[in-house]
Amino acid sequence: MNSVRLLSGKRLLLLAWAGLGTLCSPLAVECFAQASTAPLTVDQVVAQMTKRNQQRAEALRPYTSLRTYQCEYHGFGDRRAELVVKMSFTPPGKKEFTIVSESGSEILRKHVLKRLVEAEEDATSEENRRSTAMQPENYEFQLVEVDEQPGGNFYVLEVRPRHSNKYLFRGRIWVDAKDFAVTRMRGEPARNPSWWVKKVSMEVEYRKIGDFWLLARNETLTQVRFRGRAVTTIDYADYELGGPGGSPASISALPGAASTCAGGAAPGACTSKDDHR
């Protein structure tokens, strides 16, 4: 019980910053690269990413989505809980959450999943958006490699926080070489959330929907110092761009939207965490 409370009170900080990634949704405009063009420097990549982020923030329309929050805790007893939530977003940062259904452990629902929702509301305040934005004022960037994939190329950047904020992190981001949008994030909190927590790791994935990259999946693994671990996931589906009464640009559920690491994740979704469980 105490371990669960410790996890719930601290782990929500990690998933909250992932909710900020909604603003990393690109407008499918300018394309810098041709096959013969040399890779950009880290300063050029960051400059393009910062510029596009501003354009995307200004162009972002209202939208709704359905989110499935799931948590599995193993340690002082095994527990599982699920929360299905409808989220309505109004630019520049207002989010409204409506619980559609909930099941499983009351402890996990109350002290983990519902607090994650509350943390995301806090993280989208104007002050937090400004102090956690993926830009040079908040992070140092280092170019690690250019990851060439069949579906496109990605700049892999190492990021380190410049100041103390509970929503900042250290790790790596994958930046699409055409859209200059963050498509993947993998890392850990900039500071350990609690002495009782031994290790926290998380991975966030985005999916391109129309002209925007929107959140697809968020997974966090927390290990308690003495005993216990928890896997928390948020799966994002049923995007409807334009919001109620707006453009009827409906987006179907994302592939694998109901899966979690503990319950049948899509292939490779949990590879980076298997060795720590």
Domain definitions of the chain by residue range: 2-31+38-276
Q: Please list the pLDDT of the chain residue by residue as tens digits (277 residues).
A: 445 444 544 444 443 444 444 444 334 334 334 333 568 999 999 999 999 988 887 888 899 999 999 999 988 888 999 999 999 999 888 899 999 999 999 999 998 899 889 888 888 777 888 888 899 999 999 999 999 988 889 999 999 999 877 788 899 999 999 999 999 999 987 776 665 567 788 899 999 887 788 999 999 888 877 778 889 999 999 999 874 444 433 333 333 332 222 222 222 222 333 333 3
Instruction: Return d(Cα 192, Cα 198) in angstroms, integer.
Output: 8
Are the C-beta atoms of residues 239 and 214 closer than 8 Å to each other?
yes
143 close to 16: Cβ distance less than 8 angstroms = no
H or E element in which residue 55 lies: helix 42-59
State whether residue 71 is helix, strand or coil.
strand
- Of 114, 54, 57, 112, the closest CA to residue 89 belongs to 57
At 128 the pLDDT is 81
pLDDT for 86: 96
Q: Does residue 259 come out as left (phi exceeding 0), alpha (psi in the -120 to 50 range) or beta?
A: beta
The token duo for 262 is: 């503990």
Cβ contact 177:48 at 8 Å: no
Q: Which contacts of 241-249 are long-range, i.e. CB under 8 A and separated by 24 or more positions? A: 241/61, 241/63, 241/209, 241/210, 241/212, 242/61, 242/62, 242/63, 243/61, 243/62, 243/63, 243/64, 243/88, 243/89, 243/90, 244/62, 244/64, 244/88, 246/61, 246/62, 247/61, 249/210
- Cα gap 223→229, rounded to integer Å: 4
The answer to whether residues 187 and 169 touch, using CB atoms and an 8 Å cutoff, is: yes
191 neighbors 168 (Cβ within 8 angstroms) = no
Structure pTM? 0.74
